[in-house]
């Protein structure tokens, strides 16, 4: 019996999934709303006619066409040459973009750990369906990345990459995501996993991804202590990314104002995504990781 | 120019560095790392959009603390502002409360009501920094307030004033008012009066502003009322009553006199214009009690339409004599009217104090006297210890006697007095209360002493070895001595005093307090360590009753003042400029600044608290 790379992977215990969970992941399939032209044969129907098994259409024979595709039954009935067309089934590239800024290290468990486990699970789903998976990180700019891999044999490499990712620096969404969109040659399904907190306009970055032809999914991760901060009294709060200090005296009134501001921020992001047909999911680190994958992501259109 | 009363208090400024240190050492804030502070900044902006103000407030708190500490230190140093006194701001308001101010003036109002209205206007018109003193002018000038800047306090003082039944003496009131403004030439005196006084009252000072109230009035008055006993008669008395018409038309006035609600006389008096009539009405019978004379007339001043008199039961003079027997002394005492004499030959020394309180006079005749307590004593041929004179032997036949100027001796003739043997006394130390009555060239023979609660008459020879008891001067000397030792105010003569004057209430021996009930029904208890009491709340006419022990006594208070009743004898002041020129050099005054600084400290601390709580909420 072949050993599962995710269960067998050592050294990154937080990225190890049990077999039951993996079986559940294997039943899931990533779907792209756009039709992408794949590089290799896969399971996603493309606009290209090809060698797939699924019938697509007929068309008149033109000189030079492959005789093997002539439908001889039609010729016998109509005495005309028609070519039988089949849809080509290509692979889809899944681009996992992880926010690796310092703010992602916040929370218990940290948002970054949550993001890495989420990325590993999504990568496993994709690889299971013969899709290619690439991983990119960003903070102030585009950071370390893993070129797209195709087979589950590369899963260990992916896990190693994820496990060794640092979590530091400021966040510059716009410049980092714009750089990603510019450098990526084959558009695909982009899953952006970030807290969307930090400098720079995240909406510009998402817009850049869309212009790059990607089908974008945004997963916004927040720590529970960010949603309902357990702060009180006279504090000097330090920004994890910029190091800026702010003296505040937190009371009920200020907490209410903070939550009001956070709610407004989240609603802005969600509204932006909905208007641009970008799937948006908000998740708290307090929600078990398995529930995020098996329940909430499946409520969207990109996982079934 | 500012002076400091306590410059050393400025050392408290050394506390300011401590204050700064405490400010710097305030508790540090807990440091918390968050994913982002952007949302917190936005939340703070929602609460306080002016971030710059927050920084300012943080430092403002310290600045306010320092300012309040500085102000407090300055306040402790007692700064005083040396300035020219604002004399113009001080006003004395003199209200005439004499009986004539009760004269009707218009419907339902009196001259005093008009004066109160005028006074209220003057109070309302006081300058902002002005102070006013309110005083009244009746028989006495009384200060009702100090120099007061509080308008409400002045109005309250005015509201409590009312005119009495007393004759006014405005000259004294104005003299007092001028003395209060001495050195404050810009000060002003408002005298609110009806002008019923002599023109020479005006002191001629430019500071005095007269405001004369009321108009012409119609008055008929009782100007004299008294009882007296006819000479050489014990049961025949006379009532004296004078009624005067102050109007310019003849009037017929029904008059009556009653004694203890028994009407003695009724008369109808026909008085010509501005004329008076005196009635002397004899009657026989008991004449003790409360007497009231009335005239039934509807005039503008009712206070003088009745007069009062009281005749009290006479008290016996209680005399205790320690003697082995003295025919002359005892004979004279027994011959004196209304005198109770008790004779003893000895008493323990410790009882003397009690006996001195129980008896009006204690006499030691030829018996060694102990140390004398407060009381009234007559020493005959003996000397007590503790006196400013002492016994130094005897001598025979002193030479010619010399009489001193004392009232006790009067015109007593001592020329024929012969003394066989006398005590020689030496005045150890001259004291103000010691007076020589008569003496020979060898020694003092009679002395009188008044010192701490003691009255004493000393006679320095044995009466039995002189012819003094056989002389006319002897009973005269004893009578005057007893009268001096124990004045007997409540004789037969009717007791009545002018309204506003002071009545002396003589307490019988053994009594130390008296309760006086006034015509208004109010009572006042007075206490004394013996002797007499002074009672001066006699502004209202009527019968005053005072209880001494179980005996009720009376004295009468009446206006009975012809000048006060002449409510039309109105003096009009000459035109006087209202503007008062500054005269002479102005006085200087040190105005204390610490109250203002203390208020400033409180304001600064309140501001600091406000800023601190504000910054705490904003940060």
Q: What is the pLDDT of residue B101?
A: 92
Q: β-strand A189-194 against A215-222: which pairing, if any? A: parallel
Q: What is the predicted pLDDT for the residue at B582?
A: 38
Strand ranges of the sheet holding B306-311, from the earlier edge strand across to the other edge: B262-271, B251-259, B289-295, B306-311
pLDDT computed for residue B227 by the predictor:
81
Q: Two tokens at B562?
A: 């012809």
Q: Given a cut of 70, is residue B115 above it in pLDDT? A: yes
Q: Tell me the domain boundaries of chain A.
A: 5-35+91-229+284-295, 47-90
Q: What's the average model confidence in pLDDT over B262-266? A: 88
pLDDT at residue B302 above 80? Answer: yes
What's the pLDDT at A37?
54
Q: Which residues pair with A75 in a beta bridge?
A: none
CA–CA gap between residue B441 and residue B428 (Å, rounded):
17
CA distance, residue B37 to nearest chain A CA (Å): 5
Q: Helices A173-183 and A202-211: crossing angle, nearest 10°?
A: 10
Q: What values do phi and psi take at A279, rounded to 5? A: -70, 135
Residues from chain A contacting residue B30 (CB–CB below 8 Å): 233-236
Please report the pLDDT score of residue B60 as a whole number: 79
Nearest CB partner across the interface for B37, out of A237, A253, A254 = A237
Contact list, A226 vs chain B (CB under 8 Å): 34-35
B134: confidence class by pLDDT, cuts 50, 70, 90: very high
Residue B243, pLDDT above cutoff 90 = yes
| Residue A38 vs residue B437, higher pLDDT | B437
From A236, which residue of chain B is nearest by alpha-carbon distance? B31
Q: What is the pLDDT of residue A90?
A: 60
| pLDDT surpasses 80 at B580 | no
C-beta pairs of B434-439 under 8 Å, 24+ apart in sequence: B434/B388, B434/B389, B435/B404, B435/B406, B436/B404, B436/B406, B437/B403, B437/B404, B437/B406, B437/B408, B437/B409, B438/B401, B438/B402, B438/B403, B438/B404, B438/B409, B438/B414, B439/B401, B439/B402, B439/B404
**Mean pLDDT over all residues of chain B?**
83
Sign of the Cα torsion A55, A61, A64, A66 reads positive
Q: How far apart are the first and last CA of chain A?
A: 28
Whole-number pLDDT of residue A9: 47
The confidence score (pLDDT) of residue A10 equals 38
Contact B30 A239 (CB under 8 A): no
Among the residue ranges A11-20, A38-47, B14-23, B323-332, the one predicted with the least confidence is: A38-47
Here the tokens at position B547 are: 């209880």
How sure is the predictor about A49, in pLDDT bands with cuts at 50, 70 and 90? low
Q: Which of A83-87, B425-429, B484-488, B527-531 has the highest mean pLDDT?
A: B425-429
Cα separation, A211 vs A219, in Å, equals: 19
Q: Above 80 in pLDDT, residue B584?
A: no
Tell me the chain A residues in contact with residue B43 when contact means C-beta distances shorter than 8 Å: 254, 257-258, 260-261
Mean pLDDT of B55-74: 80
The answer to whether the Cβ–Cβ distance between A198 and B37 falls below 8 Å is no
The percentage of residues in chain A with a pLDDT greater than 90, rounded to a whole number, is 13
- Structure tokens of A25? 């992941």
Q: Hey, are the CB atoms on B34 and A239 less than 8 Å from each other?
A: yes
Judge contact between B390 and B425, C-beta under 8 A.
yes
Is pLDDT of A162 > 50?
yes
Phi, psi (degrees; rounded to nearest 5) at A75: -60, -40
Least reliable range by pLDDT among A236-240, B146-150, B589-593: B589-593
Range from A38-52, A86-100, A212-226, B450-464 carrying the lowest mean pLDDT: A38-52
In this prediction, residue B585 carries a pLDDT of 37
- For the segment A225-248, the average pLDDT, to the nearest whole number, is 87
Residue B139's CB: how many other CB atoms inside 10 A?
25
Which helix or strand (DSSP H or E) is residue B538 part of? none
Distance CA B94, CA B27 (A): 65
pLDDT tens per residue, range B521-542: 888 888 876 567 888 888 888 9
Among A174-188, B99-113, B219-233, B487-501, top mean pLDDT goes to B99-113
Other C-beta atoms within 10 Å of B199: how many?
A: 11
pLDDT of B570 higher than 80: no
pLDDT recorded at residue A98: 92
**Per-residue pLDDT, B220:** 93
Reported CATH class of domain A5-35+91-229+284-295:
alpha beta
Q: What is the pLDDT of residues B415-449, one digit of tens each?
A: 889 999 999 999 888 888 899 999 998 899 999 99
Structure ipTM: 0.78
Continuous segment of H or E residues that includes residue B189: strand B188-193
Name all domains of chain B by residue range, CATH numbers in brackets: 2-83+592-618 (no CATH), 87-215 (3.40.50.410), 235-313 (2.60.40.10), 317-485 (3.40.50.880)
Our CA-based measurement puts residue A237 at a distance from the nearest CA of chain B, in whole angstroms, of 5
**CA separation, residue B577 to residues A11, B191, B210, B571, B580 (Å):** 113, 15, 11, 18, 7
pLDDT of residue B468: 92
pLDDT at A154: 82
pLDDT surpassing 80 at residue A5: no
Q: How many CB pairs under 8 A join A and B?
A: 92
| Residue B499 bridge partners (DSSP) | none
**Given a cut of 50, is residue B583 above it in pLDDT?**
no
* Per-residue model confidence as pLDDT tens digits over B350-381: 888 888 878 889 999 998 889 888 889 999 99
Task: Report the percent of chain B where pLDDT is more than 90.
Answer: 25
CB A111 within 8 A of CB A221: yes
Any A CB within 8 A of B612 CB: no
User: How close A55 comes to chain B (CA, Å)?
Assistant: 53
Closest in B30, B39, B41 to A265, CB measured: B39
| pLDDT grade for B136, boundaries at 50, 70 and 90 | very high
Average pLDDT over residues A246-269: 88
Position B239 pLDDT exceeds 60:
yes
C-alpha atoms less than 13 angstroms from C-alpha of B509 in its C-beta half-sphere? 25
- Whether residue B232 is predicted with pLDDT greater than 70 in this model: the reply is no
Q: What is the pLDDT of residue B444?
A: 92
Residues in contact with A154: Cβ distance below 8 Å, sequence separation at least 6, in sequence order: A127
> What is the C-alpha to C-alpha distance for residues B387 and B383, in angstroms, rounded to an integer?
8
Choice between A31 and A274, residue whose per-residue pLDDT is larger: A274
Distances in Å between the Cα of B232 and the Cα atoms of B152, B371, B479, B494 are: 62, 44, 20, 17
- For residue B614, the chain A residues in CB contact (below 8 A) are none
Residues 5-64, chain B, touching A (beta carbon < 8 A): 27-44, 46-47
Tell me the per-residue pLDDT of A269-303, one tens digit each, with 9 for 90 and over: 999 998 988 889 888 888 888 888 888 877 776 66
A86, A49 Cβ separation under 8 angstroms:
yes
Number of H helices, E strands in chain B: 11, 33
pLDDT tens figures, A101-119: 998 988 888 899 989 998 9
Look at residue B144 and tell me whether its pLDDT is greater than 60: yes
Closest residue in chain A to residue B29, using alpha carbons only: A235
């Amino acid at each position: 019996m072949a050993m599962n790379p995710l269960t067998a992977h050592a050294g990154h215990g937080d990225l190890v999934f049990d077999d039951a969970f993996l079986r559940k992941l294997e039943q899931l399939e990533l779907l792209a709303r756009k039709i992408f032209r794949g590089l290799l044969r896969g399971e996603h129907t493309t606009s290209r006619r090809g060698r797939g098994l699924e019938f697509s259409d007929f068309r008149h024979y033109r000189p030079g066409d492959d005789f093997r595709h002539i439908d001889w039954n039609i010729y016998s009935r109509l005495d005309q040459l028609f070519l039988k067309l089949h849809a080509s089934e290509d692979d889809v590239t899944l681009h996992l973009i992880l926010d690796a800024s310092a703010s992602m290290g916040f929370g218990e468990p940290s948002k970054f750990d949550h993001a890495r486990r989420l990325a590993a699970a999504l990568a496993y789903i994709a690889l299971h369906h013969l899709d290619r998976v690439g991983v990119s990180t960003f903070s102030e700019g585009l950071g370390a990345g893993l070129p797209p891999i195709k087979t589950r044999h590369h899963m260990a490499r992916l896990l190693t990459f994820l496990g060794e990712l640092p979590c530091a620096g400021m966040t510059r969404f716009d410049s980092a995501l714009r750089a990603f969109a510019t450098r990526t040659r084959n558009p695909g399904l982009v899953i952006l996993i970030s807290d969307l907190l930090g400098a720079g306009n995240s909406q510009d970055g998402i817009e850049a991804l869309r212009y790059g032809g990607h089908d974008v999914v945004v997963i916004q991760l927040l720590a529970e202590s960010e949603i309902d901060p357990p702060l009180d009294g006279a504090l000097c709060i330090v920004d994890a990314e910029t190091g800026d200090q702010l003296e505040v005296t937190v009371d009920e009134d200020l907490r209410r104002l903070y939550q009001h501001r956070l709610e407004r921020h989240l609603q802005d992001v969600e509204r932006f995504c909905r208007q641009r047909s970008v799937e948006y999911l908000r998740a708290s680190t307090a929600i078990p990781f398995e529930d995020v994958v098996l329940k909430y992501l499946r409520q969207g259109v990109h996982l079934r | 120019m500012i002076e400091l009363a306590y410059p050393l208090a400025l050392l408290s400024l050394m506390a300011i560095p401590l204050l700064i240190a405490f400010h710097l050492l305030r508790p540090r804030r807990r440091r918390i790392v968050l994913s982002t502070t952007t949302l917190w900044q936005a939340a703070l902006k929602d609460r306080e959009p002016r971030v710059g103000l927050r920084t300012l407030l943080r430092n403002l708190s310290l600045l306010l603390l320092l300012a309040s500490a500085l102000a407090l230190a300055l306040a402790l140093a007692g700064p005083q502002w040396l300035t020219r006194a604002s004399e113009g701001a001080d006003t004395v308001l003199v209200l005439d409360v004499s009986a004539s101010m009760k004269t009707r003036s218009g419907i339902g109002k009196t001259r005093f009501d008009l004066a109160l209205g005028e006074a209220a206007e003057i109070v309302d018109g006081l300058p902002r920094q002005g102070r006013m003193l309110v005083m009244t002018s009746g028989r006495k000038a009384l200060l009702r307030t100090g120099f007061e800047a509080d308008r409400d306090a002045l109005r309250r003082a005015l509201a409590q004033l009312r005119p009495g039944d007393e004759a006014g003496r405005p000259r004294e009131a104005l003299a007092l008012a001028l003395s209060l403004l001495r050195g404050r030439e810009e000060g002003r005196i408002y005298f609110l009066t009806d002008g019923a006084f002599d023109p020479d009252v005006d002191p001629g000072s430019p500071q005095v502003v007269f405001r004369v109230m009321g108009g012409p009035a119609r008055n008929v008055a009782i100007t004299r009322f008294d009882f007296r006993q006819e000479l050489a008669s014990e049961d025949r008395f006379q009532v004296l009553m004078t009624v005067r018409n102050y109007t310019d038309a003849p009037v017929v006035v029904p008059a009556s006199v009653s004694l203890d609600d028994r009407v003695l006389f009724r008369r109808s008096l026909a008085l010509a214009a501005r004329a008076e009539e005196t009635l002397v009405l004899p009657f026989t019978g008991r004449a003790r009690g409360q007497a009231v004379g009335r005239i039934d007339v509807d005039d503008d001043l009712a206070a003088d339409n009745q007069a009062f008199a009281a005749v009290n039961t006479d008290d016996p003079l209680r005399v205790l004599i320690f003697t082995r027997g003295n025919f002359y002394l005892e004979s004279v005492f027994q011959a004196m009217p209304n005198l109770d004499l008790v004779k003893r030959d000895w008493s323990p020394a410790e009882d003397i104090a009690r006996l001195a309180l129980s008896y009006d006079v204690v006499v030691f005749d030829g018996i060694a006297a102990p140390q004398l307590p407060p009381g009234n004593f007559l020493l005959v041929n003996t000397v007590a210890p503790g006196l400013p004179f002492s016994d130094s032997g005897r001598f025979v036949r002193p030479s010619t006697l010399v009489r001193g100027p004392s009232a006790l001796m009067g015109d007593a003739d001592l020329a024929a007095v012969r003394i066989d043997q006398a005590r020689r006394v030496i005045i150890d130390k001259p004291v103000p209360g010691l007076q020589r009555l008569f003496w020979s060239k060898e020694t003092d023979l009679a002395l009188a002493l008044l010192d701490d609660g003691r009255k004493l008459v000393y006679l320095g020879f044995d009466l039995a070895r002189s012819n003094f008891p056989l002389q006319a001067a002897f009973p005269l000397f004893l009578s005057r001595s007893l009268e001096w030792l124990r004045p007997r105010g409540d004789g037969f003569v009717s007791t009545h005093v002018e309204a506003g004057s002071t009545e002396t209430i003589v307490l019988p021996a053994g009594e130390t307090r008296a309760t006086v009930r006034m015509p208004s029904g109010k009572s006042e208890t007075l206490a004394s360590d013996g002797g007499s009491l002074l009672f001066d709340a006699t502004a209202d006419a009527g019968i005053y009753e005072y209880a001494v022990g179980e005996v009720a006594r009376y004295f009468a208070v009446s206006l009975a003042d012809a000048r006060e009743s002449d409510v039309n004898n109105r003096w009009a002041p000459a035109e006087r400029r209202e503007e008062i020129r500054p005269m002479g050099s102005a006085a200087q005054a040190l105005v204390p600044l610490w109250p203002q600084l203390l208020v400033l400290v409180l304001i600064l601390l309140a501001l600091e608290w406000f800023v601190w709580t504000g910054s705490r909420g904003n940060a």
